[in-house]
């Protein structure tokens, strides 16, 4: 039985690139979708927030000097593209996903409505939240914390390239050690970069734990959901 009934999975857009410099790597997105399918087969209800960095990276050169709010809206549109790709891959793998956007693009995806999202989750559908919070100056980390709190997720699973939170950058310091668990206040005191400050504060205030793990590690998502010692748990 899964340790968590309902989760919010936060994926970075960069995680979809695989070995590519930008865009979506087909093999990578299929592998991730199959890992999500494994945990839904265990009875876990899954909501997803995905970033747009992989798409936005392809146009980043032209955004130099651009107004921050305009660039953020472009980033939101990139998350919509990723969300559509993720949902379509899920469909091809025999799953049912619904994309809900924080900004109105009703010809493409349905708007985010909390009761409808909760209904979809109860029905066993995957809910992919697109367009962040719908506001500039807020990251998709903050969107993950916000949506996780709104839908009653038991944990935010932050999928990264690193298999947890370390005492220092493991790529630069070979003596860096991984925390199995760490309290929010200790993470703040040690200045550990778990999420952006707004998202981190929201999770702490809502007593919503964060589990940081590597999405590139085969089977890691399933082990996290089963409550095994995978990644780092940040808790109150």
Q: pLDDT for 174-228, tens place per residue?
A: 899 999 999 999 999 998 988 999 999 999 999 999 999 999 999 999 999 999 9
Q: Is residue 74, in this structure, part of any structural domain at all? A: yes
Question: Residue 152 pLDDT more than 90?
Answer: yes
Is 169 annotated among the ligand-binding residues? yes
Strand ranges for 27-88 from DSSP E: 45-50
Q: Is residue 129, in this structure, part of any structural domain at all? A: yes
Is 112 annotated among the ligand-binding residues? no
Nearest residue to 231 via CA among 165, 167, 175:
165
Question: Residue 59 pLDDT more than 80?
Answer: no
What does the pLDDT read at residue 96? 97
What does the pLDDT read at residue 36? 97
What does the pLDDT read at residue 12? 92
Is 195 buried (19+), middle (13-18) or exposed (0-12) by CB count in 10 A? Answer: buried
Q: Is residue 30, in this structure, part of any structural domain at all? A: yes
Q: pLDDT for 165-175, tens place per residue?
A: 998 888 888 89
Helix, strand or coil for residue 188? helix
Name the helix (H) or strand (E) containing 8.
strand 6-11
- Supply the CATH number for residue 164's domain: 3.40.1160.10
Banded pLDDT at 125 (limits 50, 70, 90): very high
Nearest residue to 157 via CA among 210, 108, 116, 198:
210
Q: Is residue 213, in this structure, part of any structural domain at all? A: yes
Of residues 181 and 63, more confidently modeled: 181
Is 4 annotated among the ligand-binding residues? no
What does the pLDDT read at residue 19? 84
Is 232 annotated among the ligand-binding residues? no
Q: Is residue 171, in this structure, part of any structural domain at all? A: yes
What does the pLDDT read at residue 2? 85
Banded pLDDT at 58 (limits 50, 70, 90): low
What does the pLDDT read at residue 100? 98
Q: How many helices (H) and strands (E) does the chain have?
A: 8, 9
Strand ranges for 41-178 from DSSP E: 45-50, 97-101, 110-111, 126-130, 155-160
Report the first-to-last Cα separation within the chain, whole angstroms.
Answer: 24
Q: Is residue 1, in this structure, part of any structural domain at all? A: no
Is 10 annotated among the ligand-binding residues? yes
Helix, strand or coil for residue 18? coil
What does the pLDDT read at residue 56? 72
**Residue range of the domain that includes 108:** 6-235
Is 62 annotated among the ligand-binding residues? no
Q: Decide: pTM greater than 0.85.
A: yes
Is 161 annotated among the ligand-binding residues? no
Is 134 annotated among the ligand-binding residues? yes
Count of domains observed in the chain:
1
Q: pLDDT for 89-110, tens place per residue?
A: 999 999 999 999 999 999 999 9
Whether 55 and 81 have beta carbons less than 8 Å apart is answered as yes
Q: Is residue 110, in this structure, part of any structural domain at all? A: yes
Is 11 annotated among the ligand-binding residues? yes
Is 72 annotated among the ligand-binding residues? yes
């Amino acid at each position: 039985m899964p340790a968590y009934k309902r989760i919010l999975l936060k994926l970075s857009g960069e995680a979809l690139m695989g070995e590519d410099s930008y865009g979506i790597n087909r093999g990578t997105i299929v592998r991730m979708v199959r890992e999500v399918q494994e945990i839904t087969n265990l009875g876990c209800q899954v909501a997803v927030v995905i970033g747009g960095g992989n798409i936005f990276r392809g146009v980043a050169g032209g955004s130099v000097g651009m107004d921050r709010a305009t660039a953020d809206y472009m980033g939101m549109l990139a998350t919509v593209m990723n969300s559509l790709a993720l949902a379509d891959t899920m469909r091809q793998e025999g799953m049912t996903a619904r994309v809900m956007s924080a900004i109105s693009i009703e010809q493409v995806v349905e708007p985010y409505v909390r009761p409808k999202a909760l209904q979809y989750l109860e029905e066993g559908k995957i809910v992919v939240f697109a367009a962040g919070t719908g506001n500039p100056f807020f990251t998709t980390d903050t969107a993950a914390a916000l949506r996780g709190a709104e839908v009653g997720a038991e944990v935010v699973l932050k999928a990264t390239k690193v298999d947890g939170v370390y005492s220092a950058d493991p790529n630069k310091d070979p003596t860096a050690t991984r925390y199995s668990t760490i309290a929010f206040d200790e993470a703040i005191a040690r200045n550990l970069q778990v999420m952006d400050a707004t998202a981190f504060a929201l999770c702490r205030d809502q007593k919503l734990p964060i589990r940081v793990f590597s999405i590139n590690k085969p089977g890691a998502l399933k082990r996290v959901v089963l409550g095994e010692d995978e990644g780092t748990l940040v808790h109150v």
